[in-house]
Structure 1
Amino acid sequence: MPIDGLAGTVQYAMDLMGICAFALSGAYLAVRKDCDVFGTIVLAEAAGLGGGVFRDLVIGVTPAAFTDLGYFLTPLITALAVFFTAPLRHEETWYELFDAAALGLFSVTGTIKTLTHGFNLLAATTLGISSAVGGGVISSILVLEVPTLLLWNRDLYALPALAGAGTVAVLHHTDRLNTGTAVAAVLSAFGLRLLALRYGWRTPRSRVWRNPFAGMRQAPAPHPADAALSEDTVTVRRPDLDRHGTVHPHAEDTDSRDAAHPHQEGTIRLRREASFRTRKQPEQRRDG
């Protein structure tokens, strides 16, 4: 089937399914963040339409979300259904399932639409990935979360989208892209994402950051002469560093923060203290 025919007959249905699936994931995110009905609708619309709008703007066409009422109503109805359906509110599995389905659908439809506008395979693959992850990125930013695809300790996210988009690009290049192979590409991305969730597959991170203390601002090393003059050990508390090593210039005093989070006391104290040998200066020393 020609690429134009495939886009005309299949893409609209796949687009609506992808929008619905991403809108479900956005609505579940809103419920987990305790958003009101308006916030739930906003996150569902952002998750469902964000990636497609970005893709359409890049390829130079009017976003379909602004010209087709179905594109707008699908996230709206989905958001209201999730908001008022109590049994589904706490089902994390549903959130992951719908998000994986949308990832596969949009990676394929985004690539197909880009190819129909004459873009090369690399550009089409890139915009296919953007279509798949864009909505999730926008909805995460709206609730002040780091997007999943940027975190090393989350299961594979961008790579399944790459699998779907790359498969479509290869099929198009070999003149084997049709309805059946497009569905197979969707299933490949969807299946890879589910396998990553099941087995905890993750992308590697830099070896430098595998040390939990890497990146922490440490106390200056003492001068050798100072170390020789005294055997006194001074413990320095770092209330401006949290347990992850992040600097907080206006952080509260360590003791007050530990009191607020007693279950984290041991960890916080361990990572905020640095001991070094220095000369005795009683007038500058602080009580532990």
Structure 2
Amino acid sequence: MSQWIYFFDLCGTAVFALTGAMAAGKYRMDAFGVLVLAAVTAVGGGSIRDALLGATPVFWIRDPNYILVILATTAAFLVLVRKPHRLPNKTLPIADALGLALFTIIGAEKALLLGTSGIVAVIMGLLTGVGGGIIRDLLCRQVPMVLRTEIYATASILGGIGYTLSLQAGMDSMAALAIAMLSTLTIRLSAIRWHLSLPAFDLKTKRV
């Protein structure tokens, strides 16, 4: 199981690095800007998670393979994608949804391996899934997606809950992982497809 978790973690790193690179391309950043956004998106959430759990040095310092994945993804993006603004409009959100599903489960699993409670595991899954995207959006001077009305953090929370409850119910680890990833991805992609969102909180009052 640990080998599969590591494999999915590297895949999630590549996916989130791609979303960061694509965001940089959207805002016409130079090659260094692409690399920075790819890196913070890929490892930002996991770094916050490890710092809070006391798992230091953080994962990408202990294992340089994560850095290599980020560099390879960034290089491939710069070489293969000449005109990022011509990519389909839904490419970035779909890639981001996949990364969210992967990292949510990775974060929850790592927290559980370190002996935390189920609720802490869900929170760590959420931080792993959304932390890098928050940093990416802030660097792009955008309101982070997780703070908008889009169903984003909700998908991560529900996926993390499903994963921890499945394990507590005695379900096989791979089956729990597959179910949680599928549910997170389905919720997020459904929100993208049908423009589903949570109610907005508005303090503005109507004038008489």
For Structure 1 versus Structure 2, the TM-score category normalised by the shorter chain is: over 0.9
Which moves more between the two structures, 82-91 or 47-56? Answer: 82-91
Query: Do the aligned residues in 2 keep the contact of 1:82 with 1:88 (CA within 8 Å)?
Result: no
Secondary structure of 1:99's aligned partner: helix
Secondary structure of 1:160's aligned partner: helix
Percent identity over the alignment is 29
**Structure 2 partner of 1:140:** 137
Structure 1 residue 88: deviation in Å?
A: 6.3
Could you tell me how far apart the structure 1 residues matched to 2:172 and 2:123 are? Answer: 18
**Structure 2 partner of 1:230:** none
**Structure 1 partner of 2:191:** 196
Which blocks of at least 5 consecutive residues in structure 1 are unaligned? 1-5, 214-288
Larger Rg, first or second structure (1 or 2): 1
Match of 1:28 among 22, 31, 36: 22
Could you tell me how far apart the structure 2 residues matched to 1:210 and 1:166 are? Answer: 36
Which moves more between the two structures, 194-203 or 92-101? Answer: 92-101
Q: Over aligned residues, Cα RMSD in angstroms?
A: 1.6
Query: Do the aligned residues in 1 keep the contact of 2:13 with 2:69 (CA within 8 Å)?
Result: yes
**Structure 2 partner of 1:262:** none
Secondary structure of 1:208's aligned partner: coil
Structure 1 position 129 matched with structure 2 position 126:
yes
Match of 1:40 among 34, 37, 42: 34
Match of 2:182 among 184, 187, 190: 187
Could you tell me how far apart the structure 2 residues matched to 1:103 and 1:27 are? Answer: 16
Match of 1:71 among 62, 66, 70: 66
Query: Do the aligned residues in 1 keep the contact of 2:17 with 2:41 (CA within 8 Å)?
Result: yes
**Structure 2 partner of 1:234:** none
TM-score (norm 1): 0.68
Could you tell me how far apart the structure 2 residues matched to 1:125 and 1:158 are? Answer: 11
**Alignment-mate amino acid for residue 133 of structure 2:** G
Query: Do the aligned residues in 2 keep the contact of 1:37 with 1:80 (CA within 8 Å)?
Result: no
**Structure 1 partner of 2:11:** 17
Q: Which digits, 9 at most, give the CA deviation of each residue in 1:9-30, with x for residues without a partner? A: 2210110111111111100000
Instruction: Count residues in correspondence.
Output: 204
Cα distance change of structure 1 residues 210 and 147 upon mapping to structure 2, 3 Å threshold: farther
Cα distance change of structure 1 residues 210 and 156 upon mapping to structure 2, 3 Å threshold: farther
Structure 1 position 102 matched with structure 2 position 99:
yes
Q: Which runs of 4+ in 1 moved over 6 A?
A: none
More helix by share: 2
TM-score (norm 2): 0.92
